[in-house]
Amino acid sequence: MRILLLGKNGQVGWELQRSLAPLGQVLALDAKSRDYCGDLNDLQGLAATVQRFAPEVIVNAAAYTAVDKAESEPDQALRINAEAPAVLATEARKLNALLLHYSTDYVFDGKGNAPWQESDPVGPLSVYGATKLQGEQAIQDAGCAHLILRTSWVYAARGNNFAKTMLRLAAERDSLNVIDDQFGAPTGADLLADVTAHAIRAARLNPQLHGIYHLAAAGETTWHRYARFVLEQAQAAGVVLKVPSAAVGAITTAAYPTPAKRPGNSRLNTQKLQNAFSLRLPDWQDGVARMLKEILEK
Ligand code: NDP
């Protein structure tokens, strides 16, 4: 199988380089790649890459993910999150290739307490969420074979993320307050990459599996409880913190204004994916504890 991977150095892209390798020949690109264009800003270059490499599967892990910055750069976010996926979808259709793309819990308005299902009405609160939704719709409209995986609160041992920021702030600051009224599930880039490989394999054999799915680790938490869990694990591993886990304060979203609005309810119902692909999604704590072991024992 010939697989084109875009965004190879992002949190998920890095893990995909590992998980896709056993499936076939992987051409992994980023914006700076030379032999083939992997820059999602360059729509013509991107189309030429697909035509020249002629993949059977395209995995798009590249995205404009700077949620707050997107509010002041809507055109750039639209280009990368919607126009580039549209080009990939059009080219995939011509080749009869499968396009696997990632989307986000931020396509929802965050109301209520129930975990969102794939068929629930969308209502993004931010430019990032709106452009990711336009990307989903462009792929669906292009009529190519596709898998769209909506996920939430992604972390990885490599790159920057919330858990690492909490470890740094708790070591530097005298006090730490974290939002306690946004609910979701931290999801490891390694889990996303592994499930992606399983899903591609199954969907290549059974086209009825094509479509949109929610993919997140099991369980739920808030950023505040997530932060406390991270610091608890760090303390247990012998890390000295100025702010211990128990001292982390809880604040509301209203007390921490940001340029982009975030949904209060980011819970994703993952039953459709688990049933369709016969997979089981582990508790979020398992993956976070494992990632912390990896970074703290270096
Ligand atoms: P990252 O920000 O870690 O990775 C995104 C990658 O896209 C980066 O390597 C970035 O490169 C690359 N990129 C940005 N602009 C371009 C461009 N013009 N051309 C080529 N590559 C580009 O994101 P994640 O791995 O966490 O996200 C993977 C997917 O999951 C995305 O679709 C995202 O929207 C989605 N998602 C992420 C969540 C999260 O919490 N992170 C939550 C929900 C969904 P560089 O760093 O050099 O700019």
DSSP secondary structure letter of residue 39: -
Residues of the chain with pLDDT > 70, as a percent, come to: 100
Are 1 and 24 a contacting pair, CB within 8 Å? yes
What pLDDT shows up at residue 298? 64
Tokens of 41: 């800003």
Ligand 1 centre and the CA of 13: distance in Å? 8
What domains are defined for the chain?
Answer: 2-156+186-218+268-281 (3.40.50.720)
What pLDDT shows up at residue 236? 92
Tracing tokens 């992994």 back to the chain, one arrives at 28
CB of 43 sitting under 6 A from ligand 1: no
- Residue with CA nearest ligand 1 atom 18: 40
pLDDT of 101 > 90? The answer is: yes
CB of 159 sitting under 6 A from ligand 1: yes
43-66 average pLDDT score? 98
Full DSSP string of 87-137: HHHHHHHHHT-EEEEEEEGGGS---SSSPBPTTSPP---SHHHHHHHHHHH
Other CB atoms within a 10 A radius of the CB of residue 69 amount to 15
122-138 CB burial, b ≥16 within 10 A, e <16: bebbbbbbbbbbbbbbb
- Choose which residue among 154, 182, 223 to substitute to test ligand 1 binding: the one with the highest number of ligand atoms within 8 A of its C-beta: 154
Ligand 1 centre and the CA of 95: distance in Å? 25
Say which residues have a Cβ less than 8 Å from residue 134's Cβ, sequence separation at least 6.
Answer: 78, 81, 82
Residues 220, 184, 122, CA angle at the centre, nearest 5°?
135
11-50 CB burial, b ≥16 within 10 A, e <16: bbbbbbeebbeebeebbbbbbebeebbbbbebbeebbebb
pLDDT of 99 > 80? The answer is: yes
Other CB atoms within a 10 A radius of the CB of residue 7 amount to 24
- Report the run of H or E that residue 64 belongs to, with start and end: none
238-249 average pLDDT score? 94
Label the pairing between strands 183-184 and 154-155.
unpaired
What pLDDT shows up at residue 297? 80
Which atom number of ligand 1 is nearest to the Cα of residue 101? 32
- Report the run of H or E that residue 243 belongs to, with start and end: none
- Catalytic: 128? yes
- What interhelical angle do 223-236 and 162-172 show, nearest 10? 60
Give 121-173 pLDDT, tens digit per residue. 999 999 999 999 999 999 999 999 999 999 999 999 988 889 999 999 999 99
Least trusted range by pLDDT, from 113-127, 157-171, 260-274: 157-171
How far apart (Å, rounded) are the C-alpha atoms in residues 233 and 243? 13
Ligand 1 centre and the CA of 59: distance in Å? 12
33-59 average pLDDT score? 97
- Report the run of H or E that residue 151 belongs to, with start and end: strand 145-151
CB of 40 sitting under 6 A from ligand 1: yes
- Residue with CA nearest ligand 1 atom 36: 104
Q: State whether the Cα torsion 200-93-119-185 is positive or negative.
A: positive
Give 161-220 pLDDT, tens digit per residue. 899 999 999 999 999 999 999 999 999 999 999 999 999 999 999 999 999 999 999 999
Spot the catalytic one: 106, 128, 213, 226.
128
77-103 average pLDDT score? 98
Are 102 and 149 a contacting pair, CB within 8 Å? yes
Distance in Å from the first CA to the final CA of the chain: 36
Q: State whether the Cα torsion 13-73-262-139 is positive or negative.
A: negative
224-235 average pLDDT score? 96
